Structure 1
Amino acid sequence: MVCPRSGPTRLCGGQYLRRRYAARMRQHEDSKSFLSYLLLDHHQWSLVNGLIHSLSTSFAARDKIFPYPTEEVTAILHIAICDDESQQLERADSLLKKYAYEHPQYEIKIQSFSAPLELLSHVAEKGGFDVLLLDIYMPGILGTDAARELRVMRDNCQIIFLTTSRDHAVDAFSLDAAHYLVKPYSEKEFFAALEKAINNLADRYGVALTIKSVDGISRVELNRLVYAETDNHVQKLYLSDGSLIRVRKSSTELFELLEEDPRFYKCGSTYILNMEYIVELSARSVSFSTGARIPIISRKYAELRKLYMDYSCRF
């Protein structure tokens, strides 16, 4: 969830209208406060009160059409859809956007794939997603086989299978699927499955750091933090999407914020590693699923290897 989880923000039509509405509401509230200080006679006050009531009714009617979300964004969710039918891709995309609109605490970033091999290639090269909506019957490779490949790659995303048959349900849940939806599914069923996947993510990754960085205030979703490196009293935080955040803290100070999370290991005075991303470990170096590779102190190898094996068995 990370949180996550980045460039200038562009407003869609709904966001634009909601923000304009919020601004007008604030102006409306300011107008009421200002008017309360005016010395008006009874007849004038009756006119003013009528006007305020009319405005309130008008804004209430608008609110039913464009409800303004009051919650702040608390998590960024990266969600992928993989289906060979364009109509199904569009439906899932539309439902995700509606869910995001109704749940403003999540910023949902959507990416679509029309073939499982395209999805697997993307994950291998650029990293995975928080949630994957995966069709089963697709040309070339079944969705369950694609999911199996993801698990081999140590990708632990929440998978929601979308299919026209129940025949693969047992196989799907053996791959630790979050849910199994049979087409045609309803909006209610889709949202329930998505809620379950998000709750699963929250149970596992529901931690993010809001930290002062060199560029301002940054929110770092821990499930996307691959490793941190010390560089002249600055911690360089490398994220799974390739982005970099610089923090003016010592390695010890940063690790104090992370040490309760079993994924993180402080390797000497230079590196803090997220074991979730480790794919190769030797006495000289550590390789991550993002393609990054860092040297390690040989005397730390035995300790790191034991912790990594314990972590792999537990999680």
Structure 2
Amino acid sequence: MRIAVIDDLERDARQLADQVSTYMNTHRIPADTPELFPGGEEFLAGFIPGVYDIIFLDIYMNGINGMETARKIRLWDTSCHIIFVTTSSDFAVDSYEVKATYYLIKPTTEEQVSKALDRCNLQMMMNEASILVPAKNMEIRLLLHQISYTEYLNRRVLVHLKDGRQEEIFMNQKDFAALLLSYPWLCDCMKGILVNFEEVDKLLDDRFVLKNGTSIPISRLKYQDVREQYIRYSYDLVRGGQLV
């Protein structure tokens, strides 16, 4: 899960990022460290629809304000959660225009942030985790729990799905992997290959064997790290009953 904090006051941004990380750790929700941006222009310059799950957005900023930034985000991405953070409730009514999930008043507290993130229904988000990716002539939404494994061939990613279908994704391996590897059930086991632990039947000395009988090789250089990641995943699954 990827989270952005957009605020021109670095101290406020770091405090909020720490509060978000505390929530994620407490609720055992896998998430990258929140990414900080000093303003709307800086965020929008590299914004890619479907990359961020939650965006915390200060309203009163130098340059383009938070409300206008949110409007631009909504032109390209209608599914991410936008949570406004501000010193005043003046824009509370306007927040409905961009379908904001919550409205935080500074200084933020852990209790406030918890309420905001509870509203996002993160467990359901993780169960339905997906990314927008470029396929032939269009963008498609790829459901991450439906992936069996992926391989990089002929300058594109071939995604093998659990139901036997395949999707060709027109991305390089580095960018594609960056979107997936924050999720604990997905693993980079060999150059150009990602595997979904949910589909693993057994781990051998040099490969995974999937439930459908497919063998997925594991790099000798990565074997120890991959093995530890798989054991940790399996342990968390048993301990928690399910892994989001």
- Percent identity among equivalent residues? 27
Q: CA RMSD in A?
A: 3.4
TM-score, structure 2 as length reference? 0.55
**1:134-184 CA distance string (max 9 Å, x none):** 000000111000000111123431000000000000111221000001112
The answer for the alignment partner of 2:93 in structure 1 is 170
Gaps of 5+ in 2: 130-142, 152-156, 178-191, 196-244
Deviations 1:22-67 (A, max 9, x none): xxxxxxxxxxxxxxxxxxxxxxxxxxxxxxxxxxxxxxxxxxxxxx
Q: Does 1:137 align with 2:30?
A: no
Segments of structure 1 that go 5 or more residues without pairing to the other structure are 1-76, 216-226, 249-315
When residues 93 and 235 of structure 1 are mapped into structure 2, their CA distance, relative to the original with a 3 A threshold, is same
Alignment of structure 1 residues 65-214 onto 2, 5 Å: 77-124=1-48, 128-199=51-122, 202=125, 205-206=128-129, 208-209=144-145, 211-213=147-149
Q: Tell me which residue corresponds to 1:58.
A: none
Q: Pairwise mapping of residues 1-315 of structure 1 onto structure 2 (< 5 A)?
A: 77-124=1-48, 128-199=51-122, 202=125, 205-206=128-129, 208-209=144-145, 211-213=147-149, 235-237=167-169, 242-243=175-176
Q: How many residues align?
A: 158
More helix by share: 1
Contact residue 6 and residue 13 of structure 2 kept, 8 A: yes
Task: State the shift of 1:239 in Å.
Answer: 7.1
Displacement of 1:190: 0.8
Counterparts in 2 of 1:214 and 1:161: CA distance versus 1, 3 Å: closer
CA drift of 1:202 comes to 2.4
Write the distance in 1 (CA, Å) between the matches of 2:70 and 2:39: 13
Bigger fraction of residues in strand? 2
Give the C-alpha shift of residue 204 in structure 1: 9.3
Deviation >3 Å, runs of 4+: 198-201, 203-208, 227-230, 233-241, 244-248
Q: Is the 8 A contact 2:50 2:80 kept in 1?
A: no
Please report the TM-score for the alignment, with normalisation by the length of structure 1: 0.43
Q: Please say which structure displays the higher CA radius of gyration.
A: 1
